[in-house]
Structure 1
Amino acid sequence: MPTLRVGSVVSLYSSFLERVGNISKESLGNFIITEITHEVSQGSYYKNRFKAIPATIKALPSPKVRMPLAETQMATVLSNADPQGKGRVRVRMNWQTNGMQTGWVRVMTPDGGSSDDVKSNRGFVFIPEVGDQVLLGFRHGDPARPYVLGSLFNGTTGGGGGQGNNCKSLTTRSGSSLKLDDSAGSVTLHDKGGVKMNFDGAGNQTLATKASATTTVGKDASLLQMDKDGNIELKANTKITLTIEGSKIIITKDKITLESPEIEVNGTTSATVNSSAINMQGGTTNITTTTINLKPKPAEIPNDGGTYLVATRSVNIESQNVDIVGGTVEIN
């Protein structure tokens, strides 16, 4: 049995004839045999041929073996709970059995990265759900470097875009959706709680809620809130103005102003105005009624030669017509 084999360390020497009868020998060093061929024939004849590398080498060279090239693979998502929070998934390819699975695999997206203002999740973030079927690609065809090319509908999950392929949509696991309908050019936004916002493609916008709707501008500086019980609340920190051409209502924290060519107040049962002081100013004041009841508080009568009508309890004036004429008329 030859003592030389692959992995053996051999010492090689070279010999040369310096002159007749004098042969010199010089060491070429120690070598590790990497490939050897033995030849044996009759008469105990033996020879070999081998390839070797220097024994001082620290790492063996890789053999020239052609690397396998992986093709696209179907797989099923087993988990999307990436322990590093990077949006990766773990999948099982169709040929894997007995609990086999991949490591954490990156997911391709139409747009992804960062910016000066957004350090993570800038772009399109839609991570496949557990149980989804996905298609795997492999970077440089390397089986050890898979990535998810995208998700695939199947005979159970696919619904298509309807007749004429007019419907496009994004729908999440809970049922929230954004739907675009090319037949009408409409856009509809739904959430799980039943809120619906619709742009019908004809210039109309509709917002419907089941509970309440709140619009806030600034840090609660302006607020509009409506609820399902028919209550509407409008809040502002500074001023509320309602304007229709020449008519205007202005509300501030200490004053309400009504401006209009004509103001009409109707109370089908009664109308009450309460204040510590009431000022009525106008070129003409017309009061039309069947009965006027004046109930003043006790007043002092000035001693200035004027004429005063003073009632200690009440004054009732009942008539078809009442005319009060005077340079100065005071009713206290």
Structure 2
Amino acid sequence: MESIATAIVKENWNQEKPGYVKVEYTLGESEKCVTDWIPVMTPYGGSGYAGYHLPEVGSKVVLGFNCGREDMPIVLGCLSNGDDAASERISTEENTTKLIRMKSGYQIFVDEEEKKMVISDSKGENDITILEESGTVCIRAGKKLEFRIGDQIRMTMDKDKVDIAEVLTVTDGILMKGKSITEDPENEVSIKGRSVSVQPKEKISLNSTNVQVEGMQVKIKGNQVGIEGKAGAKIHSDGMMEVKGAIIKLN
């Protein structure tokens, strides 16, 4: 009895023996033999832990026979089919690329020369790329990106907007740039700081049913200052009021 043989996987699911397969191999020159359910060797396994990579139906595998016994075969691993082998697409002379690809298209790709790893979905629309040399992790989502803590969504990003749950805290500094920036809260906007500076290049517009400015000292300064009330205007001081000007005109 040969100690090694090649075979084709015929079945790979048995509820009573999960992780086992049935294979067909040639005995002698022409006799076809189909095994009972036989184990598949894994690179890592034990009580309560294991690596799980079960060969697909139709895969070509290598059989080993324990102690040379025909009734004790073990699947040692898979062989490439040749016509659709992943090795033909990614292999390099220096052997610096590694790939794990599922039949559905999900894959993990590693390029040791470029020092990067890519985890991608079956359509190639969503992936995570780790670039070691630049210290960059790139997350690409086809439609939407969610950040969760526990079961709660804390931030959601899509092509048009970013939604942040509750409070955003920035400990250093924040810079906002864009063709236009709009804040539209449901309740109120509060800005606090030791000093607040607003310096537009052209104009500041405050438009509301009620505009109120308060402070220990309020100064309005400009080359020209105009105060106008369409329905009425009132200037009042509980203390002294002082009006100065090179020329004062009251009409």
Quickly name the TM-score band, shorter chain normalised: 0.7 to 0.9
Deviation, structure 1 residue 200: 2.1
User: Residue 139 of structure 1 contacts residue 146 of structure 1 at CA under 8 Å; is this kept in 2?
Assistant: yes
Selected match of 1:79 from 2, 6, 11: 11
Secondary structure of the 1:163 match is: coil
SS at match of 2:42: coil
Q: Distance in 2 between matches of 1:187 and 1:207?
A: 12
Asked if the contact 1:246/1:260 (under 8 Å) is kept, the reply is no
Partner of 1:127: 54
TM-score normalised by L of structure 2? 0.73
Deviation at 1:124, TM superposition (A): 1.4
Match among 62, 74, 77 for residue 150 of structure 1: 77
Within the candidate set 151, 160, 163, 1:233 is matched to 163
CA–CA distance in structure 2, aligned partners of residues 136 and 127 of structure 1: 14
Contact 1:138 1:145 in 2 (8 A): yes
Secondary structure of 1:214's aligned partner: strand
Correspondence for 1:138 among 65, 68, 72: 65
Match of 1:90 among 13, 17, 22: 22
Cα distance, 1:290 vs structure 2: 5.5
The residue that corresponds to 1:192 in the other structure is 122
Aligned pairs (5 A) from 1:194-213: 194-202=125-133, 203-213=135-145
1:58-99, Cα deviation, whole Å (9 max, x unpaired): xxxxxxxxxxx5511100011212232511111101349798
2-side partners of 1:91 and 1:173: how far apart?
Answer: 19
Retained in 2: the 8 A contact 1:80–1:87? yes
Please tell me whether residue 258 in structure 1 is matched to residue 192 in structure 2.
yes
Against the structure 1 CA distance between its residues 272 and 216, is the aligned structure 2 distance closer, same or farther, given a 3 Å change threshold? farther
TM superposition shift of 1:327: 2.4
Per-residue deviation, 1:260: 5.4
- Compared CA separation, residues 279 and 84, structure 1 to 2 (3 A): farther
The equivalences for 1:244-323 within 5 A come to 244-245=172-173, 256-259=190-193, 261-264=195-198, 270-272=205-207, 278=212, 280-286=214-220, 291-294=226-229, 313-315=231-233
Separation in 2, partners of 1:291, 1:163: 78
Q: Is the 1:78–1:90 contact (alpha carbons within 8 Å) kept by the matching residues of 2?
A: yes
Letter matched to residue 135 of structure 1: V
Q: Establish whether residue 224 from structure 1 lines up as the match of residue 224 from structure 2.
A: no
Aligned partners of 1:92 and 1:100 also within 8 Å: yes
Aligned-residue offset at 1:112: 1.7
Aligned partner of residue 77 in structure 1, secondary structure = strand
**Shift of residue 204 of structure 1?**
1.7
Seen in structure 2, the aligned counterparts of structure 1 residues 265 and 89 have a Cα distance that, compared at 3 Å, is farther
Q: One-letter code of the match for 2:63?
A: L
**TM-aligned CA distance change 1:233 to 1:268, over 3 Å:** farther
Divergent runs of 4+, >6 A: 96-99, 323-326
CA contact (8 A) 1:77 1:89 kept: yes
Q: Residue 327 in 1 paired to residue 245 in 2?
A: no
Question: Which runs of 5 or more structure 1 residues have no equivalent in the other structure?
Answer: 1-68, 116-121, 296-312, 317-322
Q: Is the 8 A contact 1:246 1:261 kept in 2?
A: no
What SS does structure 2 have at the residue aligned with 1:103?
Answer: coil
CA distance in 1, matches of 2:66, 2:157: 54
Corresponding position of 2:244: none
Structure 2 residue 95 is matched with structure 1 residue 165 = yes
- Taking a change above 3 Å as real, the CA distance of residues 282 and 294 of structure 1, as seen in their structure-2 partners, is farther
**How does the TM-score come out when normalised to structure 1?**
0.57
* Distance 1:223-1:169 versus aligned 2 partners, 3 A rule: same
Identity %: 22
Aligned equivalents of 2:229, 2:19: Cα separation in 1:
79
Which structure 2 segments of 5+ residues have no match? 176-184, 242-251
- The code of the aligned residue for 1:155 comes to G
Whether the 8 Å CA contact 1:177–1:190 is kept in 2: the answer is yes
